C-alpha cells in the first residue's frame, strides 16, 4: 500500500484513541491490517522474484513520502486533537519507514525480533496486487483514504 493511504488510516485511527502513544501504536497496527487488503504498491510493478528497485520506484517512493507528510500536516491542522492525528499518521508510516528505507533497511530487518515481524507479519500479510489488477489495488487505497477523511470530518 502506498504510504499516503497508511498515513490517512493511521491518522483516522489515532484520532479516536485519546492518547498520542496509543495513537502511534494504533496507527502502526493499522499498517499491518491495511497491507492485508489487496493494494497497489511498488511491488505491483516488479516481476515476482525480481524485486529490484529501479529509479522510477525511488521517484515514486519519494513523491509518496512528500505527499504523505503534507497529508499529515493537512489532517492535523483541521483536527480537534492534532497530536493524535500526527502520532497515528506517523504510526501508519512507521513500518515502511523502518523496514524499507534504503540507508537502514538491511540493519532493521535483521534486528532480533524485528526480523520475525518483517518476515511473518509485514511481508507475510502483504496482499500486493498483480500488474493486471493495478486499478483494483488503487481503488482500495482511494476508498481507505476517503473513509479516513470522512472519519476525520473532511
For 46, 89, 154, the CA distances from 27, given in Å and listed in that order, are 27, 6, 19
Write out the chain's pLDDT in tens, 154 residues: 888 999 999 999 999 999 999 999 999 999 999 998 988 887 677 666 666 777 877 788 788 888 888 888 888 888 889 999 999 999 998 888 887 777 777 787 778 887 777 777 777 778 878 888 888 888 999 999 999 999 998 8
One DSSP character per residue, 19-45 reads: SHHHHHHHHHHHHHHHHTS-B--GGGG
Q: How many domains does the chain have?
A: 1
Residues whose CB is less than 8 angstroms from the CB of residue 130 and which lie 6 or more positions away in sequence, other chains included: 44
Q: What is the pLDDT of residue 114?
A: 75
Look up the domain containing 59 and give its range: 3-151
- Spatial separation of the C-alpha atoms in residues 28 and 98, rounded to whole Å: 11
- Spatial separation of the C-alpha atoms in residues 84 and 126, rounded to whole Å: 26
Q: What is the pLDDT of residue 28?
A: 94
The helix or strand, by DSSP H or E, that contains position 115, with its residue range, turns out to be: helix 114-116
The model's pTM is 0.85
Amino acid at each position: 500500500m502506498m504510504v499516503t493511504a497508511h498515513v490517512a488510516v493511521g491518522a483516522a485511527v489515532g484520532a479516536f484513541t485519546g492518547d498520542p502513544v496509543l495513537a502511534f501504536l494504533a496507527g502502526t497496527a493499522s499498517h499491518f491490517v491495511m497491507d492485508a487488503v489487496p493494494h497497489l504498491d511498488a511491488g505491483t510493478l516488479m516481476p515476482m522474484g525480481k524485486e529490484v528497485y529501479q529509479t522510477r520506484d525511488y521517484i515514486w517512493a519519494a513523491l509518496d513520502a512528500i505527499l504523505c507528510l503534507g497529508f499529515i500536516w493537512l489532517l492535523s491542522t483541521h483536527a480537534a486533537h492534532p497530536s493524535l492525528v500526527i502520532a497515528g499518521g506517523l504510526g501508519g508510516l512507521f513500518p515502511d519507514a523502518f523496514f524499507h528505507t534504503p540507508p537502514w533497511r538491511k540493519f532493521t530487518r535483521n534486528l532480533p525480533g524485528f526480523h520475525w515481524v518483517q518476515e511473518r507479519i509485514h511481508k507475510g500479510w502483504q496482499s500486493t496486487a498483480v500488474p493486471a489488477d493495478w486499478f483494483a489495488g488503487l481503488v482500495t487505497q482511494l476508498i481507505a483514504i476517503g473513509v479516513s477523511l470522512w472519519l476525520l470530518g473532511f
